[in-house]
Amino acid sequence: MSISPARRIAYEVLRRVEAQGAYASDELHEALVAKVKPNDAALATELVFGVLRWRRLLDFLLDRHLKKPVEKLDLPVAIALRMGLYQLGFLERIPARAAVHESVELVKMGHKSSAAALVNAVLHKVTSEIHLPAEQFLPEAISHAERLAILQSHPTWMVERWIARWGETPTVALLKANNQKPRLSLALQDPARRDEVFREFEKAGMRIESGLLLNDAFAVSGGSPTHTEAFRSGLISIQDEASQTVPLLLDVKTGDRVLDLCAAPGGKTPTLARLAGKTGRTVAADRYAHRLGAMRAQFERIKLQNVEIVELDAEKPLPFRQPFDRILVDAPCSGTGTLARHPEIRWRLKSDQLPEFHALQIRILANAIQLLAPKGRLLYSTCSWEREENENVIEEILERDKSVRPVPSSDLLEALQPHLAASMDARTLFNPSGNFATSPALHTDGFFAAAIEKI
């Protein structure tokens, strides 16, 4: 029996994610070209994200039958075992024989034929117990946080800090949301052509769902939007609704000078440029040339022309002579608000990195403020859940720099209101501190945003 295209693709993507620090979504986008059959693309995607989301629980169940932990095994062996167990335990339509046999073949493909017997034996052992509750195999002595972390497949340190901050019930809801497949949300680049886009998707057999947050957003399932003419011609972009919402908080007006300081991959810039109009000036800046190249290609696809692209290091004084009316600082961050969409983050991030992100964000934000025009508005945003990267950053900046003050949440809500979906309760988009904050348990990705203005 040869290895199916779906499993071969999933194996290679997982290998690059683990060995090269790649992101699964980027690797899948490259691998799932038009010639890949839809069924193979769907299975490959399910395997990659399923294995990454449930990696800790999978390893816990596998470790019971191994002499050394899965993490200590050669990478091809570890990936084959995880893929095999995920199919056995989470995918009902996959025959056990196929899951085991192809996992053995994957080990051979990875030049680890000596481990083929091990993979075969371990997967046959777990087959007999895979449908038993995993909780019954947990040691009695472990803490409650670790128990949750294993069963919901998250790092223990992350679960501990979330329980300490919010309590158990909200934490469990967040953990479960992080293990769900997120909605595939799309942004309309030309809302006037919505009906044309919808007709194409429906003709292709895709299902369309209305936006949860925004009236111009929508979600699809049952196919790949990137293989449509609507995508190729630039009518749509793939973008989470929370990400689509963030630039609207800046309340850009026609003629404004706008700076998108950490712009790549460029998802928020089009909204800013459209609102500023041809009489405004929109600058999209980022540090790395290759990211700017990808952003330029994205702008060409959607036919966005009135944007200047600048390569710069935002940690250093910014090379602009004139101030900006609006500045978006979508800062580099840990990404803990996107663990459903980017599950590999949960295994890479360490708690001691959060102070490093905080220091970086402070440096970038301090530089951006220097270019803010009087009465101008700056929006600071992250896709993180952590106070170190969110509230603590804003509080420190406001304490250090008395030339700025917070923008009331009522002003942010006023800017958002015309864009919100009719069913959206806008109050759920703001936390008790008055900052914009979405949750995977309630909305889509977890984003934070706070606005300040120059006095």
Q: The domain spanning residue 133 has which CATH number?
A: 1.10.940.10
Claim to verify: residue 282 and residue 380 sit in the same structural domain: yes
The residues carrying an active-site annotation are 383
- 10 Å CB burial of residue 221 (0-12, 13-18, 19+) is exposed
Claim to verify: residue 359 and residue 401 sit in the same structural domain: yes
CA atoms of 21 and 1, how far apart (whole Å): 31
Q: The domain spanning residue 213 has which CATH number?
A: 3.30.70.1170
Sheet of 217-221, strand order: 207-210, 217-221, 184-188, 236-238
Answer yes or no: are the C-beta atoms of 380 and 452 closer than 8 Å: yes
Claim to verify: residue 311 and residue 403 sit in the same structural domain: yes
3-state secondary structure string across 283-341? EEEECCHHHHHHHHHHHHHCCCCCCEEEECCCCCCCCCCCCEEEEEEECCCCCHHHCCC
Claim to verify: residue 370 and residue 222 sit in the same structural domain: no
- Residue 382, CB half-sphere, CA atoms under 13 Å: how many? 27
Claim to verify: residue 24 and residue 152 sit in the same structural domain: no
For 261-275, letters b (16+ CB in 10 Å) and e give bbbbbbbbbbbbbbb
Mean pLDDT by 10 residues, the chain (455 residues): 90 97 94 87 96 98 95 96 97 92 94 92 92 92 96 98 96 97 94 95 94 95 91 96 97 98 96 97 95 94 95 96 97 97 97 98 98 98 97 98 96 95 90 93 92 97
Residue 34: per-residue pLDDT: 72
Claim to verify: residue 304 and residue 441 sit in the same structural domain: yes
Domain boundary among 105, 137, 169: 137
Q: Over the Cα atoms of the chain, what is R_g?
A: 23
DSSP letter, residue 376: E
Claim to verify: residue 168 and residue 292 sit in the same structural domain: no
Dihedrals φ, ψ of 442, to 5°? Answer: -115, -35
Give the global pTM: 0.94
Claim to verify: residue 227 and residue 334 sit in the same structural domain: no
CA atoms of 352 and 341, how far apart (whole Å): 23
CA dihedral 197, 200, 206, 209 (to 10 degrees): 30
Q: The domain spanning residue 304 has which CATH number?
A: 3.40.50.150
Task: Find the helix or strand (DSSP H, E) in which 162 lies.
Answer: helix 156-166
Domain boundary among 151, 179, 207: 179
CA dihedral 102, 103, 108, 110 (to 10 degrees): 120
Claim to verify: residue 312 and residue 374 sit in the same structural domain: yes
Residue 404's contacts (CB-CB under 8 Å, 6 or more residues apart) are 369, 372, 378, 397, 398, 452, 453, 454, 455
- 10 Å CB burial of residue 130 (0-12, 13-18, 19+) is middle
Answer yes or no: are the C-beta atoms of 331 and 262 closer than 8 Å: yes
Claim to verify: residue 156 and residue 195 sit in the same structural domain: no
DSSP letter, residue 352: G
CA atoms of 302 and 259, how far apart (whole Å): 20
The residue segments making up the domain with residue 100 are 5-137
Residue 311's contacts (CB-CB under 8 Å, 6 or more residues apart) are 285, 286, 287, 288, 289, 292
Answer yes or no: are the C-beta atoms of 326 and 260 closer than 8 Å: no
As for how many domains the chain has, the answer is 4
Task: For the beta carbon of residue 176, count every other beta carbon within 10 angstroms.
Answer: 13
Claim to verify: residue 383 and residue 259 sit in the same structural domain: yes
In angstroms, the Cα distances linking 87 to 14, 95, 123, 438 are: 15, 9, 10, 32
Residue 444: per-residue pLDDT: 87
Residue 1: per-residue pLDDT: 53
Claim to verify: residue 285 and residue 404 sit in the same structural domain: yes
